[in-house]
Structure 1
Amino acid sequence: MGEWPAQGVVDFHGRPLPERGEPAGYAAIIAAFDLIVPPPSRMAAISERHHPRSTEAWLMLTPRHRPEPALVSQLVFAFKYEGIDLQVLAALFRAAHPEAIEAIIRMTPTGAFARRIWFLYEWLTGIQLDIPDPGKVRMVPVLNPDQQYGLAEGDPSPRHKVLNNLPGTADFCPLVRKTEALAAFSQKALGVRAREAMGRVRPDLIARAAAFILLNDSKSSFAIEGERPSGQRAARWGQAISQAGVRALSVEEFDRLQRIVIGDARFVRLGLRDEGGFVGVHDRDTNMPIPDHISARHEDLESLIGGLIAYSDRATRGAMDPVVAAACLAFGFVYIHPYVDGNGRLHRWLIHHALATASYSPPGLVFPVSAAILRNIDQYRAVLESWSGPLLPFIEWRPTAAGNVEVLNDTASFYRYFDATEHAAFLYDCVEQTVDHDLPQEVRFLQAFDLFATGVQEVVDMPMAQAELLHKFLDQNRGRLSQRARTKEFAALNDTEVEQIEALYAGTFDQPAQ
């Protein structure tokens, strides 16, 4: 064991404090036990002042909050002010002797803290401690619902007298802090708003909007990966998106979806990886891997994907916030990166699956989150790197002869227990954009196009396909029919008809004719 952090620290593990202070809680435990884990996205410290300034990266508390330099005091502080950090606790429980944890629990065996730490130790390690029954005490939730998102309906653990509201299992359980921004998003009830808004739209319009949105989301998901699929391939993936939430998750289902995503599999290995994996480039001269992200070890894929599937089931049954659950599932999947190719599109498909399973999306519609992600691609990449970047220094690896990576240390917990707070906030923002912008915009377009097409028929009788082409030309030329269109495709229209159609376009699509 190392030493507890000193006072007057200005930097901890490369992260500057907003003012001089003494790292406390999980930060202190990481230092004292020399834990090899990425620092939590937000840590706590004791300021030297009585009016400290907190930031997104540091919770600064006053000197009266200072815990004693002892494990029990630092753990109580962490639980009270920082919530549950499974990443740090898993590493701590590997480093600490079981008798040390037993001694902490026996100090106050009926207390809420003792019972929570008892449950978490056995839950994370699978080791049963020699602790007597705490007797008749009130059940307490493992996660404080005011601090972190958990199940609204947890499972009682009679042995520990706690309510297990953790959204996942020990194999996979990312957690999300209940920030002010996320709490505000939750209160907006975006799913309810979307269903109510779509409920006021004619069913035929919804069906047409759904078809366009589905194809657009499919194309956007490919575009995020830098691909431009054929129309048939995009439509095939759109069909898979439309079925999200219909089939239960399983490895076989993921394999089926990967086959749809890849299409031509002659040069891609299908199924779960049987070697290492990374996201990045190769050195042109040496073929040496230059990773931006290193995937989970292939030896850990079975338990990680099994845990992810269990998380999906628990989150749905336990009434977890659907958008938060979707973020944990989707970003967890892409960090694990279980396939050689297709991971990004499957990761975004999981968002649709989680929202559909929870009946969050309007019936018959998907939220076009890939389109929103594509509009915010830089922020999306920053969110992805918010965990993969800090993780890289903690992964020991060596290059293989084939230009791949071989991971040398145990990294499974890095993918099981990451903090998905930033990811949930990003996804909520994308969902809000789809509710406030994408869905109503598509409905408005269809309503306007119907008026336009009807008006065109009053000017000149033409097939619907020609009316659609006419609209396309007008849209591309800011409401004016180009000279090329007037001399070729629509040469049959006279000047008066063209003027009437241009005025009709301006009126229905709210765009003044030029």
Structure 2
Amino acid sequence: MTIENGKQFSDAISFFQERRLPEKARPAGYAALIDAYNLAVPLPIKLTAIGTRHKVYKEDNWHIYTPRHMPEATLEGHLVFALKYEGLDLTVLKRLFEAVSPEVIENIVKAKPTSSYARRLWFLYEWLLNRELSLPDAKTGTYAEVVDTTQQWAISGVTSTRHRVRNNLPGTRNFCPFVFRTPIIEQYMKANLSERARQTVSKLSADILARTAAFLLLKDSKSSYAIEGESPPQNRIQRWSRAIGEAGRRPLDLDELLRLQRIVIGDSRFIKLGLRQEGGFVGEHEHGSRLPLPEHISARPEDLPELVQGMLDFDRRFSCELDAVLAAAMLAFGFVYIHPFEDGNGRLHRYLIHHTLAQRGFSPAGFVFPVSAAILERIDDYRTVLESYSKRLLPLIEWEPTEKMNVHVLNDTGDFYRYFDATPHVEFLYACVEKTIEIDLPQEASFLKRYDRFRARIEALIEMPASTIDLLFHFLKQNEGRLSKRAREKEFSALNARETEQIEKIYVEVFASLSE
């Protein structure tokens, strides 16, 4: 065990907090810093350690390096190791910078003024804490990128001449989530789903396209309410579908969010609209005592103005430089974790996905992917993705119940919502978008083409109003292409046996085959 300035860096261990290592190994990088400085932060999804074998491998949530990768057992050693191999975790870095004296970071920079790692740490210290160190501006050293783009996605950025670095952070001090490069995300990006959607749409007639778009839009609205366990009247569903259809047309600001919340809620007699003035949580209440049983605790009300402004700045200034699905996940899931409103957060969270995709031109013009429907079909995966952060966040939040059986957060939690890792959220959202493009869109268009053929053949057989043909179709669909005894005797008693047989044959011929 090594001691530096009273801080101890662990020797080889088998467990780190609640995580088991794949072998006995020494924590390195962020894990070592969190342990030595007792940092109260959500553990990074991936942690690193130094094993005993000359083999680099990944297992569970650990990345095991060889003894030759062992960093010097000092603050600087583990910080440089983290930047080199683990990318940026701004929450860990900020809490660490708050835990050490400014002189410690100043000495690192003074000792190696041309080191890109030292200058990146210098910049991050001043950026995160919003205060300058007692250091003169850098005079030498090649400009280095603050974010290593081989590890995490970033923007093109602007130069900081003081530190001789390029600030390519994908957000502001108030909101700056990160996404790590993974083979899954890289593969989705190479697939160019946006172009595939445009190719599919280009093959549709104007009539089929308009009807497909209208159906999928309504489907998304219904699904968004269903995810929340709600069954609102049809007029509310249609009102929300109209709002979704306009996603991306208006600039995003607080007034726009408030307008959308009002549309979502409808009856606001028992709900305070606007930014929360009290705490918030997702979960249940204990039976009997009604004490809160939170599964997720929202940001403190006093942090909401800065957090919301951070999201708005991200949308206006940074989103445009990132992949559209990447930006949509960062913004939308950041919003749902912050939970700025008393109610309506889930539906607005999914609206923000539509907003970003439409604003960036990822969706074909006038078309809305039914992302909420895809989420509803994968609701367990959706909850798992949400919990991928909430479960790591919850143990760090100190709270007490209020008289209204809400939660009152006692510690400073703002950074937990500013700098979360959105990697699993991007992977999940890409899977949902792929499904809407590869399955939902073609299937709905195909169905409408088939239905038109079905209707034309029925009209050629017998004169029948469109509404009656629609009813006939639904009876056939419900009974696997056969008219039930009830339908034969009641709604369609006017049909003779030969007509009924022909209608059933038409249905099978049109809908049973997968060929167009």
Fold in common (TM above 0.5) = yes
| 1:8–1:21 contact (8 Å) kept in structure 2 | yes
- Match of 1:280? 283
Contact 1:2 1:32 survives alignment (8 Å): no
Contact residue 167 and residue 314 of structure 1 kept, 8 A: no
Cα distance in structure 2, aligned partners of 1:464 and 1:327:
42
TM-score normalized by the length of structure 1: 0.96
Aligned residues: CA RMSD: 1.5
Is 1:375–2:356 an aligned residue pair? no
Assess, with a 3 A threshold, how the Cα gap between structure 1 residues 200 and 38 changes in structure 2: closer, same or farther.
same
Aligned to 1:401: 403
CA distance in 2, matches of 1:483, 1:140: 76
The change in CA–CA distance for 1:511 and 1:475 in structure 2 (over 3 A counts) is farther
Q: 2:313 aligns with which of 270, 293, 310?
A: 310
Q: Which residue of 1 aligns with 2:490?
A: 488
Shift of 1:268: 1.2
Gaps of 5+ in 2: none
SS of corresponding position for 1:54:
strand
Q: Is 2:364 aligned against 1:362? A: yes
For residues 161-194 of structure 1, give each alpha carbon's deviation from its aligned partner in whole angstroms, at most 9, with x where no partner exists.
Answer: 2222211101011111111111111111111111
- SS in structure 2 of the partner of residue 134 of structure 1: coil
Structure 2 counterparts to residues 57-456 of structure 1, below 5 A: 57-135=61-139, 137-151=141-155, 153-317=156-320, 319-456=321-458
Where 2:369 maps in the other structure, the secondary structure is: coil
Counterpart residue number, 2:23 = 19
State whether residues 116 and 141 of structure 2, in contact with CA within 8 Å, keep that contact through their aligned partners in structure 1: no
Contact 2:51 2:65 (8 Å CA) reproduced: yes
Relative to the length of structure 2, the TM-score reads 0.96
Q: Please name the residue that 1:465 is paired with.
A: 467
How far off its partner does 1:154 sit?
2.0
> Higher mean Cα deviation, 7-16 or 159-168?
159-168
The amino acid across from 1:94 in the alignment is E
The residue identity in structure 2 corresponding to 1:237 is W
Contact 1:140 1:162 in 2 (8 A): yes
Does the Cα contact within 8 Å between 2:298 and 2:338 map onto a contact in 1? Answer: yes
Q: Is the deviation greater in 339-348 or in 43-52?
A: 43-52
Measured against aligned partners, the alpha-carbon deviations of 1:432-486 in whole angstroms (never above 9, x if no partner) come to 1111111111111111111111111111122222222211111111111122222
Dislocated runs of 4+, deviation >6 Å: none
In structure 2, relative to structure 1, the CA distance for the partners of 1:30 and 1:251 (3 Å cut) is same
Name the CA distance, whole Å, in 1 between partners of 2:374 and 2:113: 50
Q: Do the aligned residues in 2 keep the contact of 1:2 with 1:33 (CA within 8 Å)?
A: no
The answer to whether structure 1 residue 476 and structure 2 residue 481 are counterparts is: no
Identity across the alignment (%): 53
The 10-residue stretch of structure 1 (487-496 or 69-78) with the greater mean CA deviation from structure 2: 487-496
AA at the equivalent of 1:394: L
CA drift at 1:61: 0.4
Given that 1:218 and 1:237 are in contact with CA atoms closer than 8 Å, whether structure 2 keeps it comes out as yes
Amino acid of the structure 2 residue aligned with 1:97: S
Give the Cα separation in 2 of the matches to 1:7 and 1:454.
77
- The separation in 1 between residues aligned to 2:26 and 2:215, in whole angstroms, is 55
Q: What are structure 1's unaligned runs of at least 5 residues? A: none
Separation in structure 2 between the aligned mates of residue 139 and residue 447 of structure 1, nearest angstrom: 58
What SS is found at the alignment partner of 2:58? coil
Describe the shift of the 1:101–1:136 C-alpha distance in structure 2 as closer, same or farther (beyond 3 A): closer
> 1:19-74 deviations in whole A, cap 9, x for unaligned?
11000001111112111112111111000111254224111000000001111111
Letter in 1 for 2:261: Q
Moved more, 131-140 or 501-510: 131-140
How far, CA to CA, are the matches of 1:467 and 1:141 in structure 2? Answer: 64
Whole-Å Cα distance in 2 between the matches of residues 158 and 356 of structure 1?
Answer: 36
Q: Which amino acid aligns with 2:509?
A: G
| Aligned residues of 1:169 and 1:310 also touching (Cα < 8 A) | yes
